[in-house]
Chain A
Amino acid sequence: MADFQAQGKQPEVLFWVGCAGSFDDRAKKITKAFVKLLNRANLEFAVLGTEESCTGDPAKRSGNEFLFQMQAMTNIETMNSYGVKKVVTACPHCFNTIKNEYPSLGGSYDVMHHTQFLKSLLEDGRLKVESGQFKGKRITFHDPCYLGRANNVYEAPRLLLEKLEAELVEMKRSRKNGLCCGAGGAQMFKEAEKGNKEINIERTEEAIGTKANIIAAGCPFCNTMLTDGVKHKEQEAKVHVMDIAEMIAQAADL
């Protein structure tokens, strides 16, 4: 972002990479795939790089409102200083926080989830989705809570999957009734409370039950939880967990 400013230019969009997309080895692949798609669409985008900091979502959801607002205000100050108007992110948690919780703290931007953004690139004819290797593959989509129920985005990811000409099979608990992967509300960072099952196992079993070859995800945390679930069920040879951006990039041989 600083480079754009030095050149006196304004990028079309700020890509908010998020902590998972920056540091988690699995999620970094999603980041790269999405960037390849942005480049393919000849889009001038920027990232904040080392100026980006956690949105504060896990702090807020664990009850630490102070830490959340410190993070939020710092990030807002950074983004406002660059005159950011439009933000895209591959993480539904960052998406929800920046879109819904930053405005009343002084940060109002047009925020999109990467599936919504890719859909708009598609509609504007700037990006083509090729069916490629996913044609006819059985794919089930896991609705991330913070994209679906939290923000009512259900169709954009499904539309992209349809463009891949994949056979989309729904789990019984989908869309509004989608079952959580178990990571939200800062659960990602702690052991679960005592129970008789892990939530990600429950969800993975449901996904495997659809006989899908691929579990499509739209959230780095869901991705981790479901990948762990598939490993736990020893199905990694048959079932793959992939982000929609990765699938589109792979289909286009990027």
Chain B
Amino acid sequence: MMNFLPNAIFLAVLVSGVLFFAKNVGKLKRNIALGRDLEITGSKKERWNNLLMIALGQSKMVRRPVSGILHVVVYLGFIIINIEVLEIVIDGIFGSHRIFSFLGGLYGFLIGSFEIFAVLVLLAVIVFWWRRNVRRIARFLNPEMKGWPKQDANYILYFEVVLMTLFLVMNATDSSFQAMESGNTVSQFIAPWFAGFSESTIHLVERSAWWLHIVGILVFLNYLYYSKHLHILLAFPNVYFGSVTPKGQLDNMEAVTNEVKLMLDPTANPYAVPSGDTQSAPDKFGASDVQDLNWLQLLNAYSCTECGRCTSECPANQTGKLLSPRKIMMDTRDRLQEVGANIDANNGTFQDDGKQLLGDYISKEELWACTSCNACVEACPISINPLSIIMDMRRYLVMEQSAAPVELKNMMSNIENNGAPWPYNQMDRMNWANND
């Protein structure tokens, strides 16, 4: 009976870890679904290609070679070490030891490459930490990176150091694995550190490292939901659903099209009862809160890793304006989490909390500083579009609140009155052709 105790404990830990994560994934899906509908159109082939090149192939990451290549190392390490995790899970459930070792030479090759990757990941993570905390690269120091976002980034790095170290120690203290003399590429150099200990102590260290490693992985998995690190999962759908139209193309609001057509159609009867299939106008034009954004914009917010490439490319931010595209994404996520927590606390329905994304998180000053140049969209390694959120919030300001800066109001009334953003007479449009 006692023999099965470790298996039972393992199963309990594994199941509760996975269930708790699944519960949060459920919340994540619900929160994303709070957004407006968005039809995904455009070439599927191009979407798969983006997924392959941008997400799996990291093509936009490596545009900045230092952080890009280091990221590829950590990314590959993460992916291939999952094979090792699979073995740990099987061993844990069935009480086996290194069940894949029957693969012989292949096993040695796999574990050997995991060990090399573990070392490379450790090095990469140390460089990442140094860039953030010692070298203090500017894009990690913007105002929105104070407090939790800064800690979050460091916690992730510490997690990875601990997990990689445990993996190497686990291998180094596994005497039967060391005896195989295959696959211990790195750990054979760590094993001698433990040479002075008794066999039972070494075994205890091995078991502890093994347990801490898998428990650490489960804790890390559950940390994702509370962290910017969700990108390791969400980057893939986010890239797939990312825009495949030219970056300059903004959506044409359908509700507006219907109304404008009605206005321009001399035969339209404004009092006619709309027929059933006509889309009724939304209760709000543009966005003042997260529920007014579409689900892709909300997925964007959860996918953001706060790397700040967008902000460092933003012309407004570079010239000292308040606008930071990264902050737009972080604010959207923070507000969405707040709305989600509100729904949880109120038995599934949102109770007005007197707050909204506009004003309480994102200020008008930020929104009006944008030049719509698409530098942020181009910079994002995983196809996040901060510009679309800025535009939807400007739409709310203008169409719901008439709250455009006065110069822009003048520009708009010029267009209305004389068809040009300046107060010139429409009849003078051909003057360029007359005088020399």
Give me the interface of A with B, judged by CB distance under 8 Å. 17, 19, 21-24, 28, 31-32, 35, 47, 49-50, 52-54, 56, 58-67, 69-74, 77, 96, 99-101, 104-105, 145-146, 149-152, 176-177, 179-180, 182-199, 202-203
Contact = CB atoms under 8 A, between A and B. Distances in A.
Interface stretch (B6-14, B256-264, B271-279, B298-306): B256-264
B260 A179 contact: no
Contacts of B428: 22-23
B195 interface: no
Interface in B387-436: 391, 393-399, 404-405, 407-408, 410-412, 415-416, 419-422, 424, 426-433
B318 A63 contact: no
In this complex, the member of A69, A100, A198 whose beta carbon has the largest number of chain B beta carbons within 10 angstroms is A69
Chain B: interface residue count, which band? 35 or more
A32 B432 CA distance: 7
A100 B374 contact: no
A100 B42 CA distance: 14
Contacts of A31: 432
B315 A202 contact: yes
Contacts of A182: 315, 371
A153 to B, nearest CB: 10
B256 A69 contact: yes
A191 to B, nearest CB: 7
What secondary structure prevails in chain B residues at the interface with A? helix
B338 interface: no
Interface string B346-361: 0000000000000000
A22 B432 contact: yes
Contact of B371 (A59, A64, A187): A187
A129 to B, nearest CB: 23
Given A49-B429, A146-B248, A193-B365, A59 B412 contact: yes
A99 B250 CA distance: 12
B407 A184 contact: no
Contact of A199 (B253, B315, B432): B315
B249 interface: yes
A195 B419 CA distance: 32
Interface string B257-300: 10111011000000000000000000001100000000000000
Contacts of B421: 19, 54, 58, 188-189
Ranked 8 nearest A-B pairs via Cβ: A150-B248, A185-B372, A196-B320, A63-B394, A53-B419, A195-B320, A63-B398, A180-B373
Contact of B257 (A54, A64, A105): A105
Contacts of B260: 66, 69-70, 73
B420 A151 contact: no
Contacts of A100: 245-246, 248-249
In this complex, the member of B249, B404, B408, B415 whose beta carbon has the largest number of chain A beta carbons within 10 angstroms is B415
Contacts of A149: 247-248, 373-375, 377-378
Contact of B411 (A53, A58, A151, A203): A58
Contact of B412 (A67, A77, A194): A67
A69 B399 contact: no
B235 interface: no
Given A54-B419, A62-B408, A195-B321, A96 B248 contact: yes
